[in-house]
Amino acid sequence: MAIGFIRFLATLLALVLATPAWAATPSRAACEAWLATSPSPAGLATLTGPGATQRAALLASGSKLVLIGSRYYSVSIPSAFYTAAKPMLVFDLHGTGGYPEAEWTDWNAAMTARGHAFVALAWGGGTPSAVSDTEIYASATQIMQEVGANCPIAAANKWLMGFSVGSAMSFAVMIRDVAGLRLFRGQLAISGAAAAPLTTGRDVMHATVEASRANSQAVKGILSWMYCGEQDLDHSWSMCTEMPNGVAFVNEHGGQATLYSDTMGMHHSLPASSTGYNQMFDYMAAAPATTVVTAAQADCLFDAAERVYPALLAPAASPTLTYAPYRYRYYSGTRAYLGVSTTDEHLYYLPPSGPMQDVGLGLTYVDQTSCR
């Protein structure tokens, strides 16, 4: 059973790359047609004043607004996104009293110049109607599925951006994501880490974050770029004395964070600071696609392996199980196991007799196949 497992993986790669059974990637034409279909659906919350102007500009740009339950999100995909060597998608959470059109106004020029797709969710941050981190993550999952069914975003590095209270919330959402589907490569936290209301002080973060302090891997594999303005007193203290708490949490819980401190920066300075946002974009560009094999990617590799070697891995479509540190499938017909370890992110095969075999780094195969 130990014969040629490197050949096995080579065959697996060839199969996954060539198999017509994989769902076709949506084309640019299909995406642009979707964006142009009902871009301003009935039932959207009405915006007045600057919001009305911002919405009109967003729609005039070819972007789209989509209802999701009682809320909505915006989708903007510039032409350069479709041909980018390393496509990026930013998923944005607005600040107190904000809305997607305002975030689009702040970021559209810079995102478009770099060919980055931009999606923003209306989540009610900082108001009585604000939804929870669990609800935001459920919405993000649905949004990625909806957009992905119509536009070629599967291969894009996806970043969770938050501003102000959206930034503070993004830490909790990242924890949900690491425990969930790992939609996001990393976090862009801008001007906010402490929990609201701020009566508890600058050191207390969102309740989900505080509840996760005992979990040393709460944000495992996450890259985080953070911004603070030293002149930002929006929370009654310099934001550059607050954001280091966010950096510490990420670095102490399995992630890697860096903080850009703007000596003259205010609460809302970053979108207008090319020096600051260029550092953010450079950080995103330098990031590897991922450091972990996600649950969906592991299942994708298992499925492909079953098609290549049905005599070794039977019955096909065996249920995926977890037993720390493995995500695996047991094939009762052949008494074999195939799994991924969360300890080193390697793919392992255990035959019915003989030692377990380390097939290699799972991402070596994920990043070269349709499992990406």
Q: Model confidence over 120-157: pLDDT tens digits?
A: 999 999 899 999 999 999 999 999 999 999 999 988 99
Distant-in-sequence, close-in-space partners of 100: CB < 8 Å, separation ≥ 6: 58, 65, 72, 73, 74, 92, 94, 120, 121, 122
pTM summary value: 0.77
Tell me, what's the pLDDT at 361? 65
Strands 71-76 and 346-350: unpaired
Question: 38-286 in CATH: which number?
Answer: 3.40.50.1820
pLDDT tens figures, 303-356: 988 998 899 999 999 999 999 889 999 999 999 999 998 876 788 999 999 888
Strands 326-331 and 117-121: unpaired
Residue whose token pair is 């380390």: 358
The single-letter code of the amino acid at 314 is A
d(CA 167, CA 161): 7
Q: How many CB atoms lie within 10 A of CB 95?
A: 24
| Boundaries of every domain in the chain | 5-21+293-366, 38-286
* DSSP of 275-336: HHHHHHHHHHHHS-S-SS--HHHHHHHHHHHHHH-TTTS-STTPPEEEETTEEEEEETTTTE
What H or E segment, with its residue span, contains residue 199? none
158 secondary structure, DSSP code? E
CB 329 within 8 A of CB 338: yes
Distant-in-sequence, close-in-space partners of 113: CB < 8 Å, separation ≥ 6: none
Tell me, what's the pLDDT at 364? 63
What H or E segment, with its residue span, contains residue 81? none
Distant-in-sequence, close-in-space partners of 230: CB < 8 Å, separation ≥ 6: 238, 239, 240, 261, 262, 263, 264, 265
CB 122 within 8 A of CB 66: no
Q: How many CB atoms lie within 10 A of CB 14?
A: 12
- Nearest of 293, 299, 308, 305 to residue 346 by alpha carbon: 293
Tell me, what's the pLDDT at 164? 96
d(CA 206, CA 126): 13
pLDDT in tens, the chain (372 residues): 333 444 444 444 443 433 333 346 899 999 999 999 999 999 999 999 999 999 999 999 999 999 999 999 999 999 999 999 999 999 999 999 999 999 999 999 999 999 999 999 999 998 999 999 999 999 999 999 999 999 999 889 999 999 999 999 999 999 999 888 888 999 999 999 998 777 777 889 999 999 999 999 899 889 999 999 999 999 999 999 999 999 999 999 989 999 999 999 999 999 999 999 999 999 999 987 666 788 888 999 999 889 988 999 999 999 999 998 899 999 999 999 999 988 767 889 999 998 888 787 677 667 555 776
Tell me, what's the pLDDT at 12? 45
Give me Rg for the CA atoms of the chain: 22
Tell me, what's the pLDDT at 84? 95
Tell me, what's the pLDDT at 370? 73
Compute, in degrees rounded to 10, the torsion defined by CA atoms 13, 16, 18, 21.
170
Tell me if residue 337 falls in helix, strand or coil: strand
Tell me, what's the pLDDT at 128? 92
Tell me, what's the pLDDT at 231? 97
SS3 readout for 229-291: ECCCCCCCCCHHHCHHHHHHHHHHCCCEEEEEEECCCCCCCHHHCHHHHHHHHHHHHHCCCCC
